[in-house]
Amino acid sequence: MRAVLSTGRMKPRSALECDVHLVPLSPGEPCAYCLRFLESAPDPDQIPPAVRLDELERWLTATPAVPLELLYRRIEQLVGRPISLHELEDPDLLMRRAQRPRRLGGLYDDFWQ
Ligand SMILES: [Zn+2]
C-alpha cells in the first residue's frame, strides 16, 4: 500500500529555498551557508565599497533565511552605523545612504534627517 502524499498543496517558494544560495531549505530551518558566512563575515572596512554595497543589496532584497537579528547586525556593519528597524522597510533609501562616503565621528548623522 502506498503512502498518500499531499501533492495538491503548493508550498510558498520563499520558505523552501535560500534566495542567496539557491539551496533547498526545510521550513523553519536557517540556511547553513548564510549562517556560515555571517559567522565569519569579512570586516566591511577590508572589502571594496562596491563589494560591500553588493552584499548589502543581497541581504536587503533576499527573503531572510537566517535569524533576523543576525541579518540585522550584518546590515548595520555594512551600512557602517546603527540602523533603525523602519529603515529596513525602505531598502532603496538605505542603499542610497550606504553609498555616501563615511564620515568620521558622524555615527548618527543620518539619524536626524
Ligand atoms: Zn543562504
Q: In angstroms, what is the span from residue 62 Cα to ligand 1's centroid?
A: 9
Q: In angstroms, what is the span from residue 45 Cα to ligand 1's centroid?
A: 23
pLDDT digits (tens, 9 = 90+) for 17-27: 999 999 999 88
Most confident among 5-14, 79-88, 102-111 (mean pLDDT): 79-88
pTM greater than the 0.75 cutoff = no
Q: Which residues pair with 78 in a beta bridge?
A: none
For residue 15, the model assigns a pLDDT of 55
Q: In angstroms, what is the span from residue 64 Cα to ligand 1's centroid?
A: 8
CB atoms within 10 A of CB 74: 19
Q: In angstroms, what is the span from residue 58 Cα to ligand 1's centroid?
A: 10
Q: In angstroms, what is the span from residue 38 Cα to ligand 1's centroid?
A: 10
Q: In angstroms, what is the span from residue 36 Cα to ligand 1's centroid?
A: 9
In whole angstroms, what is the distance from residue 76 CA to residue 110 CA? 13
For residue 112, the model assigns a pLDDT of 45
Residue % of the chain over a pLDDT of 90? 51
In whole angstroms, what is the distance from residue 89 CA to residue 68 CA? 13
Q: In angstroms, what is the span from residue 40 Cα to ligand 1's centroid?
A: 14
Q: In angstroms, what is the span from residue 49 Cα to ligand 1's centroid?
A: 22
pLDDT digits (tens, 9 = 90+) for 1-18: 554 444 444 444 445 899
pLDDT digits (tens, 9 = 90+) for 19-78: 999 999 988 889 999 999 999 999 999 999 999 999 999 999 998 899 989 999 999 999
